[in-house]
A and B are shown apart, each in its own frame.
Chain A
């Protein structure tokens, strides 16, 4: 019996140890990213054009591209994801067709992002002839992000107790009226949280973008209001290297001498933005929930 106790103590130690190692890895990673980045982040780093062969380039355009691409992607993803989630949670019958549809969503959700990027390159860049552009990139990211949004929306709707649906039906509402006036407001906190978390995923994505949005960006002029000018920040048909693609590009295909510093600064900005997304998802979710319960 003594032996079993020893083994138990040893294994308990190992389990605590693995959790410690995981926490340690995170602290180590965040520490390195933020400490190294902090020395390189400055106002001029954030607000100057990137350089293609000299030292001292900034990340202004890449940062803008990341946010613009994110907004466009969410504009496409949110309605599709929401309607898809509504379909699976409220409309779909339990039959072969639904299970086939579910397999399609699971397939899209689990494909490697580079595969989605290659498909985006074939369809949007080549067949549709949009070239390396923000539009190609945003639609590719939509294919990549849509399944997650569908799954999040479905889970949020399914978490609403059935008596709310019954109550709505008893008042004579149709199914769509129930969805619109009862279920969506009730699911709003969970939907918003899921949306912000998936936005973080889109913001950091790179493999799907190198073949669709390109590895270069024109120097943008923020007073250029002609939408389809090459240096217009809002032009959806121009190439757009994002922040995460920039980190990869300066380290592998770029030739600037200060690649490590630029990448360190860009990594810190990228991680800070994503941490901010995660934090605000938590806080907003909690705040809205408290607000609803308070009423």
Chain B
């Protein structure tokens, strides 16, 4: 299998092979790969916990393990997946790699802060892994007081310290992206020349820098309460457990938009490319991203509908939660309209993007169920919620991540991945995912609560389906490890622009040199200037 093309003489990978040049790099592309290795590791740790949980849930009596172990497993799964995979994944990998290239810059605004951000991520992750595996923690990723502060045993302080540190990593990344987008765009690149991926990253970064500090303070208060029992969340001493929930969800709801906005950005890049058609409603998509970020700060109370907030607070948060779904709906309509009269091909990235649209829409529609107060009263804290957020996070964000992985694989590695295997994995993932999580909607409405180690016999059949699906999903996640790894060595080399895409990043060689471009990039007047074969143009 000799390659028709030779690798560019010196690219960012072959620039220098020493360990020092990797661990002290300030090249945004290398930092992206450092992050990529880290989040992949965390994904498999969190995924391993999930696999264990689904195995245990085959048995209504929770036979294989004790309740303590099960409780630690779901806590591990939540903390690792939320803060060490979902929040960082697309921004720190594809965001870091591509953002400067998409705007024609040589690097981000503060390259050294970028590297610091990765080290903080690793430091935070180490604390958390220590807490989860050496000591064990069973509070759930939501740390509700007073259970977490007064009653749980376990390494709360170490875990919370780790998340606190990782939070700084998030803030630095967000800060870097905002400043980069404001100050380092190539000449001639206005805001409306930017790809939607950049708009999405900008919106995500705003949430990162505004919401994360509140989490930091909340965790600090939680840790000190656990340590010295002042009473800030302890009702016996005059504290209010609901204050913790308000502060916590004020971050954690916008956090879910941190997770999904970059995924939506990825889909906005893939769909026009593989339909050979301009994105429909570009400006609406830009402002939909910003609206999601803004309105997303106003809905945190919908996590607390049954927690003891007043009826009027419930009504307000319900209304706002409906409102935040509107911009997401706009995005789905626009992606679909882009396909109309396009010229569509079905390479792996497109399969993932289409899968995203389907699964995200299902997840988003079930969000409407949850915004509807009487329905939420019944299904909150049950598997309905679990299914809802997994449809969006896994069906949405993880699918988008894999879409991005395949779309930009040639640019990042200079190799093509094997298309047949990739398509197979994409379809397998879609099927495995639905088999795993759709039954959970039914389980939820039937009344099976979440975080249950043992459950009533009547729920077993659906649990078995779900666990079966999880097995399929696990295979679908492992497959890319193998064929992408294989492609690094044996696959054919990629050209600069194998997809004939319009983004500036495709003007660089694959893989790019250290300074991203060999010639100053040509900035298109408007983005997504695809020409559909067969359409007449005047």
- A, B bound: no
Chain B residues at the A interface, C-beta cutoff of 8 Å? none
Chain A residues at the B interface, C-beta cutoff of 8 Å? none
